[in-house]
Chain A
Amino acid sequence: MTGNTEKHDGLPRVGFYICHCGTNIAGTIDVADVRKYAEGLPGVAIARDYKYMCSDPGQEMIAADIKKHKLERLVVAACSPNLHEETFRKAAARGGLNPFYFQMVNIREHASWVHTDKLAATRKVKDLSRAAIARVRFHHALDKQRVPVDPNVLVVGGGIAGIHAALTLANAGKQVTLVEKEATIGGHMALFDKTFPTLDCAACILTPKMSAVKSHPNIKLWTYSEVEKVEGYVGNYKVQVKRKPRYVDEDLCVGCMECIDACVFKEPKFRDKFNQGLGKRKPVYIDFPQATPKVVLVDPETCIQLKTGKCKKSCAEVCDRKAFNFEQKEKIEEIKVGAIVLATGFKTYDAGRDPNYGYGRYPGVYTALEVERLVNASGPTSGEVVLRDGKHPKAVGIVHCVGSRDDKSNKWCSRVCCMYSLKLAHLIKEHTGAEVYNFYIDMRAPGKAYEEFYDKLLSEGVHFVRGRVSDVTDWAMTPEEEGRLVIRVEDTLAGFVRRIPVDMVVLSTGLEPQADAQEVRRRFNIGCGTEGFFQERHPKLAPVNTFTEGVFIAGGCQAPRDIPDTVAQAGAAAAEALALIDAGFVELEPNTSHIAAEECSGCKTCVPLCPYSAISMEKAGENAKAVINEVLCKGCGVCAAACPSGSIKQNLFSDDEIFSEIEGVLTK
């Protein structure tokens, strides 16, 4: 497994190591052949292949070789540098070598896993290895730069994920700013009546946490606010938050709601967004009785005073705290934080996109969220399941997978719909005694006590029909169907098409990325997957991290998930943020650029190119040279590419290094 060539041709002594990765690499690449080939390359003092380079013995072998063979450079051909670059840098350091005298060759993700032609893949690996060996000669010893970390944290989104992350961080003694775009925190969970599978009351478990957020001395709660701009880097973010006007002073209002009674509109007549449009509200309103903060707000679209300036302002008059301020303006506040947790949640699928289900056309068709409000004791009907025409349903059909597992809309399974459909089936049956039908493709109940909940529903007399519903129609074919909605479905277990008349249809809509997910992720400089949910750094090993250090994600913004998983992930994101903060400093990759003053002609080409304004002219006058502020430089290398005199060098990506790599991959 080893080859050893003692030679020294005036070049730095390179150690070359190629990993089998079990059979992950060795199954496709002839590693022994590559090792033999590398032995013959100029400067290579030792070349070895080993089953698992990243294992302890593999790393120790490297460290020992560095000492024994007086290695001056290290090249490891293994997996992606995104995975193990740091591992081998540390191994180099243990051997007494500066960790940046190291280059990694990606022969797993970029070769063995993506090619089937063994000969061609091995040739590719030889080319890549030769390039790395050529390039590593030009490496310099570098030090990581340490910068202090601001101990404050920003949490964006006040659903259960944001609430839990904020509380965890605040309990650990960190100062947290929680920014929520709606007027109250609580998110989707605040809309629910019960939660599956335990059927405990959502408000009973959520509202204590909401109050805890409000009263926590370490949490600054900014609702009705949105993050406008994010600048800076890990440990040192500068964030601008837009605080929208409520026209009510948050510090003065005590939430007595007397102003709502006093409003010149005697009856509520405007669409109540919180109740999914099933209820009405006045221009001055509060979303729900436990809204946090318990502060009213005024809707400028409907308030007569704000629209025309000609109202008798009975709301303001009745307020003995003098909390109303119709002159309130939007304001921008700036905060500094070391870490950011994004918990911006999801939205539900727009059921109107599937016209065959008749949502918006037949008043008897509801979305699941609407039904959540209908069965909720604090909802628009005080928990009475009553249809839009005032009748009580005798039969209810629940249609699963609306906007999920569908090539025409969203391909993914939304994970929670089967379970919440079961919950709604139970609640509707409990509230109305109606016959309840579930139309499902597959029943997915993969959680603690979830399958048991399904079993319970089976014994409660709820009907289950396996098949995707084709359409909902009011076209009656029998007297029994007259005046009702008919669900047409192929019962795939019975093997024939059925028509089932019902009075109410519930569409179990799937979970989608927020409408502004793309804007938001650009603001925070993170990525989205193809479906539009925020991209995690690694699907298994870094599920709450992002590619931007110091920005973490939790909950439905990353993928559809239920409450237990969301809370667990929020805790994980908080822990990652704590680990970052409590270290006290971060080490930045030293791939910054610098300018060789003696070569700089002072042409200023680089100055406007830098996205971070890190380059300035040293002094005024004819002989001015450009200088780079290393603290501001993020290491993109845009300036180095543009410098006409080649006097800008990017650490780890200098011209010498890249040209030698180009030459290396192309030498025959």
Chain B
Amino acid sequence: MTEKFEPRIVAFFCNWCTYTAADLAGVSRLKYAPNVRVIRVMCSGRVDPQFVLDAFARGADGVLLGGCHPGDCHYAEGNYKTLRRMRMLERMLKGMGIYDGRFRLEWISGAEGDKVRAVVNEITEKVRALGPLDMPGKFKEWDKEIEELEAHINQGGPRKEKLHV
């Protein structure tokens, strides 16, 4: 790779706490890494684990999810549901080869602009150290392998090894 690797990170921020905190970071002119793309949701509880998987599948090197602190959810308890879902998702991600550090769940209150700065910088550095994930590239490789196998089978040639597809 000739170009320097710049991580691409997708963030889902809840409107009431973390998105507001990011606004506060802006108003306070705090400086942080430009690698995170924020998608606003009303509550972290809106984040379907599929969103996280989709982000990885489409080429994100990391995913950050920000919600209100436990007990502070604008919708009473949405963040508890987020916590349950994401604990499960984290185990699933590991099974898929997406290891610790690429996905992060953080509670950031509307007053914690500095925490946005710190967390964004940390995850950017962490993912930079881990290197590119490149799921789309992996999908292509896997598709290619399957195609080659298919072609091989269709040609009726002798099998080199037993297939487990």
B-binding residues in A (CB < 8 A) = 80-82, 106, 108-111, 113-117, 120-121, 123-124, 127-128, 131, 522, 525, 527-530, 535, 547-548, 591, 609, 611-612, 634-638, 640-642, 650, 653, 655, 658-659, 661-663, 665-668
Say whether B26 contacts A80, CB under 8 Å: yes
Docked complex Cα distance between A411 and B111 (Å): 16
Q: Are A109 and B6 in touch, CB under 8 angstroms? A: no
A530-B111, A659-B54, A666-B8 given; A113·B46 CB < 8 A:
no
Are A547 and B23 within 8 A (Cβ)? no
- Which B1-34 residues sit within 8 Å CB-CB of chain A? 6, 8, 10, 16-17, 19-20, 22-23, 25-27, 29-32, 34
Chain B residues whose C-beta falls within 8 Å of the C-beta of A658 in the assembled complex: 39, 41, 51
13 residue pairs from A and B, CB less than 8 Å apart: A82-B23, A111-B34, A113-B29, A115-B34, A131-B39, A527-B72, A611-B76, A637-B43, A637-B46, A641-B47, A663-B54, A665-B39, A668-B59
Which residues from B are CB-within-8-Å of A642? Answer: 48, 81
Give the residue of B8, B26, B45, B112 whose beta carbon is less than 8 angstroms from that of A114.
B26
Q: Is the CB of A666 within 8 A of B55?
A: yes
Known: A666-B59, A668-B59. A114 touches B42 (CB 8 A): no
Contacts of A659 in B (CB 8 A): 51, 54
A653's partner among B35, B42, B76 (CB-CB below 8 A) is B42
Residues of A within 8 A of B119 (CB): none
Complex interface: chain B residues within 8 A of A666 (CB): 8, 10, 37, 55, 58-60
B: residues with CB less than 8 A from A are: 6, 8, 10, 16-17, 19-20, 22-23, 25-27, 29-32, 34-35, 37-43, 45-48, 51, 54-55, 58-60, 71-72, 74-78, 81, 85, 109-112, 117
Verify A637–B42 contact, CB threshold 8 A.
Answer: yes
Which 7 pairs of residues, A with B, have the shortest CB-CB distance?
Answer: A109-B26, A637-B46, A636-B75, A638-B45, A636-B43, A665-B37, A120-B34
Cα A321 to Cα B92 in complex, Å, equals: 73
A661 to B54 alpha-carbon distance, docked (Å): 11
Cβ-defined contact, B39 with A641, below 8 A: no
Q: For residue A538, which residue of chain B has the nearest CB?
A: B27
Once bound together, how far apart are the Cα atoms of A81 and B25, in whole Å? 15
B37–A527 touching, CB < 8 Å: no
B25 near A114: Cβ-Cβ < 8 Å: yes
* A106 and B38 contact, CB distance less than 8 A: yes
From A106, A123, A641, A668, give the contact of B46 (CB < 8 A). Answer: A641
Determine the residue in chain B with the shortest Cβ distance to A81. Answer: B40
Q: Which residues from chain A contact B51 at a C-beta distance below 8 Å?
A: 658-659, 662
CB of A362 to closest CB in B, whole Å? 38
Q: Is the CB of B30 within 8 A of A114?
A: yes
* Chain A residues within an 8 Å CB radius of B6: 120
Chain B contacts of A81 at CB under 8 A?
40
CB distance from A277 to the nearest CB of B (A): 34
Q: Are A108's CB and B26's CB within 8 A?
A: yes
Knowing A113-B29, A114-B30, A547-B20, the reply to whether A591 touches B42 (Cβ < 8 A) is yes
Cross-chain contact A124 with B37 (CB below 8 angstroms): yes
- Contact in complex: A522, B109 (CB < 8 Å): no
Contacts of A116 in B (CB 8 A): 31
Evaluate contact between B27 and A124: CB separation under 8 angstroms.
no
B23, B25, B77, B109: residue with the most chain A Cβ atoms closer than 10 Å: B23
Q: Is the beta-carbon distance between A661 and B34 smaller than 8 angstroms? A: no
A109 touches B45 (CB 8 A): no
Is A114 in contact with B29, judged by CB distance below 8 angstroms?
yes
What is the distance, in angstroms, from A7's C-beta to the closest C-beta of chain B? Answer: 26
Additional pairs, 17, CB under 8 Å, beyond known A81-B40, A124-B37, A611-B78 = A106-B38, A109-B22, A109-B23, A110-B22, A114-B29, A114-B117, A120-B6, A522-B72, A527-B111, A530-B111, A609-B81, A640-B46, A640-B48, A653-B42, A661-B39, A662-B10, A662-B39
CB closest residue in chain A, given B61 = A666
Query: With A108-B26, A638-B45, A665-B10 known to touch, is A535 a contact of B34 (CB < 8 Å)?
Result: no
Instruction: For A655, list chain B residues within 8 Å (CB).
Output: 48
Min CB–CB distance A174 → chain B (angstroms): 27
Q: What is the CA–CA distance of A116 and B117 in the complex, to the nearest angstrom? A: 13
| Residues of the A chain whose Cβ atoms lie less than 8 Å from the Cβ of B43 | 636-638
Of residues A106, A111, A116, which shows the largest number of chain B Cβ atoms within 10 Å of its Cβ?
A106
B22 (CB) vs chain A CBs: closest residue: A110
* Residues in chain A near residue B77, CB distance under 8 A: 611
Given A113-B27, A547-B20, A611 and B75 touching (CB < 8 A)?
Answer: yes
CB-CB under 8 A from A108, the residues of chain B are 26
B60 cross-chain contacts in A, Cβ below 8 A: 666
- Residue among B27, B42, B112 making CB contact with A530, cutoff 8 Å: B112
